[in-house]
Amino acid sequence: MRWLLSLVLVLAHVGLVRAEEPIRVFFGPKAADDPNGLIHNLLKFLDSAKTNIHGSAHEVDMILVAEKLAERAAAGVDVHVVIEADWWESPKNKAARQILANSKVKISPDTKKSGLMHNKFFIADGKRVWTGSTNLTQTCLLYNPNNAVWIDNDKVAANFESEFSDQAAGKFGKKGAGKNHTAHPIVRLDESTAVTTLFSPKDTTLKSIVDVVDAAKETIDIACFVFSSREVGEAVLAAHKRGVKVRVLLDNVFSSPAATASWKYVPFNELKRAGVSCKYDDEASKLHHKFVVADRKVVITGSFNLSASAAADNDENLLIVESAAVAKQYSSEFERLWKLYHGDPGESPPPEKGDVGSAP
């Protein structure tokens, strides 16, 4: 057997056996059984847990996910999920809620006095992290454009475990968040990949986004459900004025004047007026992504919409990934969507309750 192990190591070294990337990236919508899809790989991630699964989820209505969590708990895995209280009590989540309520899964709703509990992350065995823009819902996993990352790194996992522990103890929003105690704010996964982990409202998330935008020299591509932050909008405008090629793709739920009437600043309008290439999607599905790609080498992703409420009120997570390989995948997704949508938003679909909480 020793010779076989040696052979595998040699083949991996020369590239004939593919080692897993430090960050695996998934995009949707794709079919439930697509091996590159969100739901297939989320279930695979949950199956990878041997001792514990700790999660923080804005919403769960996907029966497959609820059943998988219950199955893992029945197998002896410690499964504990923090969830947004308002959505947990919603009638649309009743079937999934009943599955989890009748299982060994521990559920901890957030406090209604806080902002949105808007995270979408899981930690498996304190070693692996799943996060991104994707809620655990049928629409997000199978219908809306979304993304997720799977990171195999115990230091990044420790950062998320710390955030989970705060939430499990009932610490939510700007009143309960307390001081930042992320043990490993910047983690180098390999020679070409580094990850910065941030949580709101305890970290300076908007400033970190602005720093990435300010550092861009060639290109900035933004695909985001909500973009209402003046701070980020003005930084993007400044990048455009210094010659950076900027493209912005947003969801058409906020394309009508009525939908943004309460906003003090509408970045889409300001950027469009200045000559920045801006589009809305033209589908009833939500463009639910929350990512930025700068210079095709830095990616911002997570649960975080580009809004002041995401920074100051909500419980969110944000990753800044320095990796040309990861950026290439996000750039490909952006190009796909940019070509798909023509820019005319059509009739703006009505916003849902959770959409309002994501902005301004």
Q: What is the pLDDT of residue 75?
A: 98
Three-state secondary structure call for residue 194: strand
Q: What is the pLDDT of residue 174?
A: 79
In this model, does residue 162 exceed pLDDT 80?
yes
Q: Are residues 311 and 180 in the same domain?
A: yes
pLDDT tens digits, 37-59: 999 999 999 999 999 999 999 99
In this model, does residue 98 exceed pLDDT 60?
yes
Residue 110 in domain: yes
Q: How far is CA 359 from CA 229, 234, 332, in A?
A: 9, 17, 27
Residue 344 in domain: yes
* Percent of the chain predicted with pLDDT > 90: 82
> Hunting for tokens 């076989």 — which residue is that?
4
Q: What is the pLDDT of residue 14?
A: 41
- Helix or strand holding residue 224 (H, E): strand 219-224
Which of 146, 168, 190 is at the close of a domain?
168
CA distance 271 to 273: 5
CA distance 122 to 128: 8
Three-state secondary structure call for residue 128: strand
Q: Does residue 295 have an active-site annotation?
A: yes
Average pLDDT over residues 108-134: 93
DSSP 8-state class, residue 343: B
Residue-number span of the structural domain to which 46 is assigned: 20-168
Q: Does residue 112 have an active-site annotation?
A: no
CA distance 196 to 186: 4
Which of 117, 141, 168 is at the close of a domain?
168
Catalytic residue from among 290, 297, 315, 355: 290
Q: What is the pLDDT of residue 16?
A: 40
Q: What is the pLDDT of residue 229?
A: 97
| Total domains in the fold of the chain | 2
Q: Are residues 221 and 117 in the same domain?
A: no
Catalytic residue from among 171, 202, 288, 297: 288
Q: What is the pLDDT of residue 107?
A: 97
In this model, does residue 178 exceed pLDDT 80?
no
In this model, does residue 303 exceed pLDDT 90?
yes
Q: Are residues 213 and 304 in the same domain?
A: yes
Q: Does residue 264 have an active-site annotation?
A: no
pLDDT tens digits, 122-157: 999 999 999 999 999 999 999 999 999 999 999 999
Residue 12 in domain: no
In this model, does residue 331 exceed pLDDT 70?
yes
Q: What are phi and psi of 16, to 5 degrees?
A: -85, -25
Average pLDDT over residues 294-313: 96
Q: What is the pLDDT of residue 11?
A: 42
pLDDT tens digits, 192-242: 999 999 999 999 999 999 999 999 999 999 999 999 999 999 999 999 999
Q: Are residues 200 and 329 in the same domain?
A: yes
In this model, does residue 10 exceed pLDDT 50?
no
Catalytic residue from among 34, 78, 282, 295: 295
Residue 349 has, within 13 A of its CA and on its CB side, a CA count of 15
Residue 30 in domain: yes
Which of 139, 168, 197 is at the close of a domain?
168
Residue 15 in domain: no
Residue 250 in domain: yes
Tell me the pLDDT band of 346, cut-offs 50, 70 and 90: confident
